Amino acid sequence: DAGVIQSPRHEVTEMGQEVTLRCKPISGHNSLFWYRQTMMRGLELLIYFNNNVPIDDSGMPEDRFSAKMPNASFSTLKIQPSEPRDSAVYFCASRFGGGAPNEKLFFGSGTQLSVL
Amino acid sequence: SQKIEQNSEALNIQEGKTATLTCNYTNYSPAYLQWYRQDPGRGPVFLLLIRENEKEKRKERLKVTFDTTLKQSLFHITASQPADSATYLCALVPGGYQKVTFGTGTKLQVIP
């Protein structure tokens, strides 16, 4: 099992550019979560999906952020246009069991985003 | 507003001692509470889960308690080792809901 796969591992871009982060969840997992981690705010939930459907996007900071899950094996988080305050580590996590709240999350290694 | 608070300052303890980490929450009614470990440059890794009707859970050298009256969970590592040095995060899952919300984490340093 390869685990949750995120790409790229590091992304450096200039303010105003579009950024796309990618995630491949563990096969068979029904839920997918996008988190952002900074020193100041810790690990913040941005959005999560169940069975490819967005359930709660209340953590998405602004309209500049959007997320999609076109199928069970792929999700993207897009920032357009990017700003320096978006610099953070972005994690994707998946969970087996769809709506089962007692199931654990499996995290990817994260994407370190730097917006200059 | 909802808050999940963990000791923001790092916890330094001597090898062999018991480390105790705290997770306090307000304006939540979690059905489940989870603990994760995070090493530098890596994603969090699940350690333990405890349900609201459970007082205590153990796994090897780890012990978690959950007091819904105090709105607090304690995470203990007994006979701590330098390899236990990491950041530990608690996460809450409300009843009937699937959202997993994390605390800010506590950095533990075990000194040989």
Contact A31, A47 (CB under 8 A): no
Contact A105 B46 (CB under 8 A): yes
Res. B8: pLDDT tops 80: no
Contact A62, A14 (CB under 8 A): no
Instruction: Round to whole Å and give the CA distance between A110 and B41.
Output: 8
Contact A48 B99 (CB under 8 A): yes
Residues B8-14 have a mean pLDDT of 89
Q: Is B39 on the interface with A (CB under 8 A)?
A: no
Task: Grade residue A99 by pLDDT with cuts at 50, 70 and 90.
Answer: low
The count of CB pairs under 8 A between chains A and B is 63
Contact B66, B37 (CB under 8 A): no
pLDDT at residue B97, as a whole number: 57
A chain contacts of residue B45, beta-carbon cutoff 8 Å: 107
B chain contacts of residue A99, beta-carbon cutoff 8 Å: 98
Contact B89, A43 (CB under 8 A): yes
Report which of A31, A27, A37, A30 is spatially closest to residue A90, judged by C-alpha positions.
A37
Contact B34 A106 (CB under 8 A): no
Q: Is B31 on the interface with A (CB under 8 A)?
A: yes
Contact A35 B51 (CB under 8 A): no
Contact B13, B58 (CB under 8 A): no
pLDDT at residue B9, as a whole number: 81
Contact A90, A77 (CB under 8 A): yes
Contact B43 A4 (CB under 8 A): yes
* Residue, of A99 and B79, whose pLDDT is higher: B79
Q: Is B10 on the interface with A (CB under 8 A)?
A: no
Residues B34-62 have a mean pLDDT of 94
Res. A101: pLDDT tops 60: no
Place of tokens 């370190």: A112
Span A19-78, pLDDT tens digits: 999 999 999 998 999 999 998 889 999 999 989 999 999 999 889 999 999 999 999 999
Instruction: Round to whole Å and give the CA distance between A40 and A109.
Output: 20
B chain contacts of residue A108, beta-carbon cutoff 8 Å: 43
> Which of A35, A43, A99 lies closest to B98 in CB terms?
A99
Backbone angles phi, psi at A93, to 5 degrees: -140, 150
Contact B61, B81 (CB under 8 A): no
CA of A113 to nearest chain B CA: how many angstroms apart? 13
Instruction: Round to whole Å and give the CA distance between B42 and B105.
Output: 14
Instruction: Round to whole Å and give the CA distance between A30 and B52.
Output: 24
Res. B15: pLDDT tops 70: yes
B chain contacts of residue A104, beta-carbon cutoff 8 Å: 34, 46, 49
β-strand pairing of A111-115 with A10-13: parallel
Res. A10: pLDDT tops 70: yes
